[in-house]
Amino acid sequence: MSRNPIVPYILIFALGIGLIFFMSLYGLDQKKEIAGQGEDAVTEEAESSAEFDAEAVAQGKCIGCHGGDLSGGMGPGLVGTSLSKEEIKDTIKNGKNAMPPQGITDDAELDAMADYILSLK
């Protein structure tokens, strides 16, 4: 007697559907816990925005184009730049040529970024 080769696939499919169903029920029970984690994340984000680290932002956003030591790569070098503080702030905020806006709109953060870039020698 020959076995039907599709039976194992049907069993795996049924097991997968059942697993998805039970996992979704488990997730419904944790709705309040998940919502509570979001409030903690907002609080942590608010605390971290008070401690703006221009060097960390530069290492996270700038090194992709300006090189690991910010001396140049695909984008121009930032070390010893001839741009003024206002030009740097405007470029970070609004973008220029191939550089897109960086999403930093707070004046204090823009000042910190410009000061950091101007401090590079």
Give the whole-angstrom CA distance, residue 82 versus residue 45. 34
- List the end-to-end C-alpha distance of the chain, in Å, as a whole number: 82
Distance from C-alpha of 77 to C-alpha of 45, rounded to nearest angstrom: 31
The string of DSSP letters for 62-94 reads: IHHHH-TTSS-SSSPP-TT----HHHHHHHHHH
Q: 66 a known binding residue?
A: yes
- Was 65 annotated as part of a binding site? yes
Residues written for the chain: 121
Residue 1 annotated as binding?
Answer: no
Token pair for residue 11? 């069993």
| 74 marked as part of a ligand binding site | no
Annotated binding site: 62, 65-66, 99
Annotated binding site for heme c: 62, 65-66, 99
